[in-house]
Amino acid sequence: MTWIYYDSKTGNVERFVNRLKLQRDWTIQKIDEALRPLHEGHLITYTTGFGEVPLSTLRF
């Protein structure tokens, strides 16, 4: 099973992963500070400024 973790600020990433979910049988989980991943997976996030990774993603 494929796990996708994502972080979304404006909703663009969330819309993208929701479209993926319609096409694939993947488990998709939005990250937050309390979430600890139990499975290996892929991380999709947004960028800020000049391609900087957001602090919420770095904490995850």
Quote the pLDDT of residue 35.
92
Task: Provide the token pair at 36.
Answer: 């600890």
Quote the pLDDT of residue 32.
92
| Mean pLDDT per 10-residue segment, the chain (60 residues) | 95 96 94 93 94 92
Query: Residue 19's domain is classified under what CATH number?
Result: 3.40.50.360
Quote the pLDDT of residue 1.
87
Quote the pLDDT of residue 29.
96
Strand-pair partners of 5: 29, 43
Number of domains in the chain: 1
Residue 49, domain extent: 3-59
* Residue 13, SS3 per DSSP: helix
Given CA atoms 5, 53, 18, 2 in this order, what sign does their dihedral have? negative
